[in-house]
Amino acid sequence: MTLSVVKRYLIAFDQYKWVGLATLAATVGVSGVVALQPTPPPVYVASGTLAYRRPSVIFSSTTTKIQQEGQEISKDKLLNQEVIEAAAIKLVKEEKKLNKEAAKLDSKELNEQVKILTKKLTDDVQLKMPSKTNDPNALIQVLYKNADRTKAEKRAEALMKEMVIYSENFNTSRLRTTIAQINKRLPKVTQDLREREKKLEAYEKREGTSILAAQSGVLPQAIINSEQQQRQLRLQLGGIEAQLKSLQERLGLNVEQAYVAQALSADPIIAQLRVQLFSIESQLKILRSDLQEEHPKIVELLKQKPAFEQQLQQRQSEVLGGNGVAAPLRSADRIRVDSSLDPARQQLAQSLIALQTQRDTVAQQLKGVEKIEQQLRQEYATIPNKQLEQARLAQQVALKKALYDKMQSALVDAEAAIAETTGSLIIAQDPKTDNVESSKRGLSVMLAVGGFVGLLLGGGLIFLLGMLNGKFYSWEEVRAALVEKEVPILGVLPEVIVFDSYGDEMPLALEPNSPYLEFYERLRTNLRRIGEKPVKVVLLTSAAPLEGKSFSAYNLAIASARSGKRTLLIEADLRSPSNVESLKIAADPLATVEPLHYYGNMSECVLLVPDVENLYVVPSPGFLRQASAVLESSEMRRLFEDVRNRFDFVVVDSPALSECNDALTLEPYTDGIILVARPGYTLSSMLSEAADQLLESEEDESNKSGPRLLGAIINGADIAVKFRNDVDEWELPLSAIEVRSAIEVRSRQLPQQFKPNTSTSLSDRQSQ
């Protein structure tokens, strides 16, 4: 098997070979020009080295960071104007002490000499930085050329000393700047954190009880209990009304009449007055049969009767109207009739009055329970908004707290690092000069050296361009990147060779004996082993377009259906045309007009695939301007809830993460996300960014609110696939060079309808 680095270099060489040839030609030309130049006069070059110094004891992480950054100090910083001027001043002063004539120079002439020497130092000094600054053994080479050997060594030494001093000042100044910036920003961050915490505390004190009641189920249970109590009260009220009606029919009195009759019949004074009136009437009847109306006894009895009747009316007012204040006006005869209830009828009247009182009580209770239910329902309707507000406030507090903790940690670390920080450079070797020999190489030797250097530069430039391209050129590189990010690899899928019979459709593994189904079946079984509960609804996405996520989603659904599972494929990419023509299905052209109605009616959007048993598909309506609104609608949520119960396995095809956030919007409806990568198309930066985005939310499982990454699949890998025909079986190694030769040989043995198109591969059509 060819190494991945060799594959990468071969592909890069095929793309940038003209750059390498141009570099080779330019290097050979330069070497020829150099060989023809005259020999320059001898110049002494003083060479000294600076080494990187590390502190012996490090207690602060900031010290390590500052020391590492100090090692990455650039050439321009080491040769800045401040360093060179300081070295020039020291050299001029030293020469002034040695030269008595120079000691007589005034400050103006001295400054002029410093400027001249500064310019000379700038022009003649050279600095060679190491290729790897993080290497503890790396060295910085300082070169200074001059016709005088002594001056070359002294000036190089002065420059090196100033570079060491600048390194120490540079590290310390960065620490002090960091501390000042943190102290400047810390009060504002602290104030923001306290304000957010107070808002969250006040909100939880105000709304925490109702939110907790809704979360624990107390509030919904209270609404249910209220409804049950209303039903019981209505049943009780109906029974009481039935009893009232029955008693009223038996007594022939309504409730008010029964109350009056019962009250009057139960009063002993009224009963006594009735007896006296009855006695008077009896005596009058007897006396009138023998005596005249003018008889004194009859006259006396007639005088007594109105008095008793008046007393009867007065007593009736006292009994019924509270000492006659609100008593109704009744005649004595009516009072005698109303107070004539026997004990049995008095008991019935009393029961009727009690039932009326009970009915009023139950009706009042029913009104109170209905009012309480309305209040509970209104409070329950506001719970989602309260929960969202509470989550938003908690998130703001968490963000402010994270920033505050980070700044505090950085401040403590920076303050501790001041005592440990030293310069990052030391003089490893004092500058020395070598003897200069004047020599001139021949033209042929220079051309040979130039050709060799050109080959190295051209090859290195080609390799560098291939590395800077940012793409993975082999599936081994993709796998290494995913392993580094700790992303589980669910499967490695081969590159599919496209035959002419497919036309513009995706090359799906629709045949039961397709050699590619084995790989997708392996992917499906790997998904079943994830987690404690089997994965039922998965969402496929990728970091960028053209990485084969739709192709993988289709074939994974086909493999699941072939295994006997009732499988559904949902095209959730509402920003691209549908691909269901590859399954010999026509999408509904009216779905784009009313997408919510389309997804709301499951019988219309779910279609059966005719060529694959157990496979169903929900085609995409096509490009929608308001795709996010459709994906976040209640119709889409109900669709996912229904299909989860009706199907054994659901595959969701969503857009790439670099295009939109549709995949993250749909993830809560699924059991997790599968990330699709593809050699030759996947950029390392975008894959790393997508993996970090999906893995960050899984760090804190207790407060998980982000997507769950199930793993990744590598699509379009150059791995061997066994093809079978009626004669024999043959293995197809899917490398870029061997594919064409293998297919050209075998295409002569296959039937005419299965001959491949050697100029087309999945790399050209998989994105469709």
619 confidence band (pLDDT: 50, 70, 90): very high
**pLDDT tens-digit series, residues 570-582:** 999 988 888 888 8
207 lies in some domain: no
Across residues 582-604, what is the average pLDDT? 84
Q: Does residue 206 lie in a domain region? A: no
Asked if pLDDT for residue 703 goes beyond 50, the answer is no
Contacts of 2 (CB under 8 A, 6+ apart): 735
Three-state secondary structure call for residue 326: coil
User: Which pair of tokens denotes residue 196?
Assistant: 């957010």
Which strands make up the sheet holding 44-52, listed edge to edge? 125-128, 139-146, 44-52, 425-433
Dihedral (Cα; 317, 323, 326, 332), 10-degree rounding: 10
Is the pLDDT at 637 greater than 90? The verdict is yes
**Residue range 264-292: average pLDDT?**
79
* DSSP E strand stretches across 311-453: 425-433
- What does the alpha-carbon distance between residue 724 and residue 95 come to, in Å, rounded to a whole number? 90
**Is the pLDDT at 650 greater than 90, yes or no?**
yes
Average pLDDT over residues 343-348: 78
pLDDT at 747: 42
Question: Range with the lowest mean pLDDT among 90-104, 163-177, 349-363?
Answer: 90-104
The band of 764, judged by pLDDT with boundaries at 50, 70 and 90, is very low
Which pLDDT score is estimated for 705?
A: 45
In this predicted structure, the answer to whether residue 323 has a pLDDT above a threshold of 70 is no
pLDDT-based confidence at residue 618 (cuts at 50, 70, 90): very high
Does residue 662 form part of some domain? yes
Q: What is the pLDDT of residues 443-473, one digit of tens each?
A: 677 777 777 787 777 777 776 766 666 677 7
Q: Provide the percentage of residues in the chain whose pLDDT is more than 90.
A: 9
| % of the chain with per-residue pLDDT over 70 | 77
| Order of strands across the sheet that contains 567-571 | 489-494, 709-717, 673-677, 537-542, 649-653, 567-571, 615-618, 607-608
Where is pLDDT greater, at 96 or 372? 372
Predicted local distance difference test score (pLDDT) of residue 378: 80
Do residue 447 and residue 521 come from a single domain? no
Strand partners, 433: 46
**In angstroms, rounded to a whole number, what is the distance separating the alpha carbons of residues 664 and 539?**
10
Q: Evaluate if residue 241 carries a pLDDT over 80.
A: yes
Q: Is residue 559 part of a domain?
A: yes
Whether 453 and 567 map to the same domain: the answer is no
Residue predicted with more confidence, 134 or 584: 584
The answer to whether the CB of 710 falls within 8 A of the CB of 673 is: yes
Asked whether residue 424 is domain-assigned, the answer is no
Local structure of residue 8 (DSSP, 8 states): H
The tokens describing 527, both together, are 């998904």
Q: Where are the alpha helices (DSSP H) in 136-148?
A: none
Tokens 């994105």: give the residue. 767
CATH number for the domain spanning 700: value is: 3.40.50.300
Let me know whether 509 and 454 are in one domain. Answer: no
Residue with the larger pLDDT of the pair 612 and 531? 612
Greatest alpha-carbon pair distance for the chain in Å reads 183
531 in a structural domain: yes
Residue 546 lies in a domain: yes
329 pLDDT tier (thresholds 50, 70, 90)? low
Q: What does the pLDDT read at residue 92? A: 81
pLDDT tens string 529-559: 887 788 899 999 998 888 888 999 999 999 9
Instruction: Tell me if 561 sits within 8 A of 647, measured CB to CB.
Output: no
- Mark whether 463 and 602 lie in a shared domain: no
Identify whether residues 479 and 465 lie together within a single domain: no
Backbone angles phi, psi at 748, to 5 degrees: -75, -25
For residues 22-41, one letter each, b for 16 or more C-beta atoms within 10 angstroms of the residue's C-beta and e for the rest, the string is ebbeebbeebeeebeeeeee
Report helix, strand and coil shares of the chain as percent, to nearest 5: 60, 10, 25
3-state secondary structure at position 168? helix
Confidence grade of residue 502 (pLDDT, cut at 50, 70, 90)? very low
pLDDT band for 271, please (50, 70, 90 cuts). Answer: confident
What's the average model confidence in pLDDT over 167-193?
Answer: 83
Q: Report if pTM > 0.85.
A: no
Same domain (yes/no): 608, 690: yes
Average pLDDT of the residues in 601-627: 89
What's residue 65's pLDDT?
Answer: 66
- How far apart CA 1 and CA 91 sit, in angstroms, is 63
* Residue 241 in tokens: 């009304």
Q: Report d(CA 367, CA 361) in Å as an integer.
A: 10
Residue 702 has pLDDT above 80, yes or no: no
Whether 28 has a pLDDT exceeding 90, the answer reads no
Asked if residue 581 and residue 447 are part of one domain, the reply reads no
**Same domain as 600, residue 463:** no
Of the listed ranges 55-64, 604-613, 614-623, the least confidently predicted one is 55-64
Instruction: Look at residue 754 in the predicted model and tell me its pLDDT.
Output: 35
Alpha helix ranges (H) inside 540-633: 549-562, 595-600, 602-605, 627-631
Does residue 225 have a pLDDT over 90?
no
Q: Does the pLDDT of residue 518 top 80, yes or no?
A: yes
Band (762; pLDDT cuts 50, 70, 90) = very low
pLDDT for 290-301, tens place per residue? Answer: 877 888 888 887
Read off the tokens for 620: 């995409």
pLDDT at 91: 81
More confident residue, 608 or 34: 608
Same domain, residue pair 573 and 496: yes
Average the pLDDT over 478-486 and give the result: 86
pLDDT value for 306: 83
Per-residue pLDDT at 135: 65
- The answer to whether position 369 is within a domain reads no
Bridge partners (DSSP) listed for residue 1: none
Tokens 């691209």, residue located = 576
Give the pLDDT confidence of 670-693 residue by residue, as tens digits. 999 999 999 888 888 888 888 888
Quick check: 325 pLDDT over 50? no
Q: Mean pLDDT score of the chain, rounded to an integer?
A: 77
**Span 396-419, mean pLDDT?**
83
Does 686 share its domain with 745? yes
Instruction: Pick 746 or 160 by higher pLDDT.
Output: 160
For residue 756, pLDDT over 60 is answered with no
Q: Note the pLDDT of residue 542.
A: 92
In terms of domains, do 495 and 449 share one?
A: no
Lowest mean pLDDT among 44-58, 421-435, 538-552, 735-749: 735-749
DSSP state of 579: -
Return the C-alpha torsion angle 554, 560, 566, 570, nearest 10: -20
> What is the span of the domain harbouring residue 447?
1-38+442-469
Identify whether residues 617 and 741 lie together within a single domain: yes
pLDDT at residue number 54 = 66
What does the pLDDT average to over 601-619? 90
Per the structure, the count of domains in the chain is: 2
